Structure 1
Amino acid sequence: MRIIVYGSLRRKQGNSHWMTNGQWLGDHQISGYALYNLGHYPGVVVGEGQVYCEVYRIDASTLGELDALRTQGGEYKRTLVQTPYGSAWLYVYQRSVRGKQRIDSGNWLLRDAQEQS
C-alpha cells in the first residue's frame, strides 16, 4: 500500500522517523487541496491549490501506527488519492482552519520563507 505525506512525515522533518520502514517512491503535487500551518505540523483540506508531497510504499503495520498518530480524536481522516505511483492514502484535516495561516506555496518546507515575506 502507499501513503502520500506533506508535512512532518516528509524526509528530514520532525516525524520522518515514522517512515523509516517505508520505501520512498518519489515526489508528487496533489491538486484540489490547500495546506495550512497548524503550529508544529500542517493540515490539508479540500480547496483550491496544490500541495507538494512525498509518496511512500508502506506495510500494514506502519499504516496502523500512522492511523493511531493521525486519526486519534478525529483530527484527520484518511482518504484515497491518485498519484503517478498508484493510489495512496492521504490524511485530510477535519477541523476548522479559520484563523490558521494558509501556506500559499503548498510546500511545508517553505513555510518559514512565507512568514518572512
Structure 2
Amino acid sequence: MRIIVYGSLRRKQGNSHWMTNAQWLGDYKVEGYELYNLGHYPGVIPGEGTIEGEVYRIDAMTLGELDALRTKGGEYKRQLVSTPYGSAWVYIYQRSVAGRPQIASGDWLDRSDNP
C-alpha cells in the first residue's frame, strides 16, 4: 500500500522517523486540496489548490501506527488519491481551519513565509 505525506512526516521534518520503514517512491503534487498551518504540523482540506507531497510504500503495521498518530480524536480521516505510483492514502483534516494561515504554495517546507 502507499501513502502520500505532506507535512511533518516528510523527509527531514519533525515526525519523519515514523517513515523509517517506508520506501520513498517519489514526490507528487496533488490537485484539489489546500494546505493550512496548524502550528507544529499542517492540515489538508479539499479545495482549489495543490499540495506538495512525498509518496511512500508502507506496510500494514506502519499504516496502523500512522492511523493511531493521525486519526486519534477524529482530527484526520484517510482518503485515497491517485498518484503516478498508484493509489495512495492521504490524511484529510476534519476540523475547522478558520483563522489558520493557508500555505498558498501547498508546500509545508514554505511555511516560514506565512504569518
Q: How far, CA to CA, are the matches of 1:5 and 1:109 in structure 2?
A: 12
Match of 1:111 in 2: 111
Q: How far, CA to CA, are the matches of 1:26 and 1:56 in structure 2?
A: 7
> In the TM superposition, what is the alpha-carbon distance from 1:113 to its structure 2 partner?
2.5
Secondary structure of the corresponding residue to residue 29 of structure 1 = strand
> In the TM superposition, what is the alpha-carbon distance from 1:101 to its structure 2 partner?
0.3
Q: How far, CA to CA, are the matches of 1:5 and 1:47 in structure 2?
A: 17
Q: How many residues align?
A: 115
Match of 1:52 in 2: 52
TM-score between the two structures when normalised by the length of structure 1? 0.97
Q: How far, CA to CA, are the matches of 1:114 and 1:52 in structure 2?
A: 16
Match of 1:95 in 2: 95
Is there any run of 5+ residues in structure 2 with no aligned partner, and where? none
More strand by share: 1
Secondary structure of the corresponding residue to residue 82 of structure 2 = strand
Match of 1:22 in 2: 22
Secondary structure of the corresponding residue to residue 46 of structure 1 = strand
Note the 1:33-52 alignment, pairs <5 A.
33-52=33-52
Is there any run of 5+ residues in structure 1 with no aligned partner, and where? none
Cα contact 2:44–2:93 (8 A) shared by 1: yes
Q: How far, CA to CA, are the matches of 1:40 and 1:113 in structure 2?
A: 15
Q: How far, CA to CA, are the matches of 1:66 and 1:52 in structure 2?
A: 19
> In the TM superposition, what is the alpha-carbon distance from 1:51 to its structure 2 partner?
0.2
- Using the aligned pairs only, state the percent identity: 75
Kindly report the root-mean-square deviation, in angstroms, between the aligned alpha carbons of the 2 structures: 0.6
Q: How far, CA to CA, are the matches of 1:106 and 1:114 in structure 2?
A: 11
> In the TM superposition, what is the alpha-carbon distance from 1:114 to its structure 2 partner?
3.5
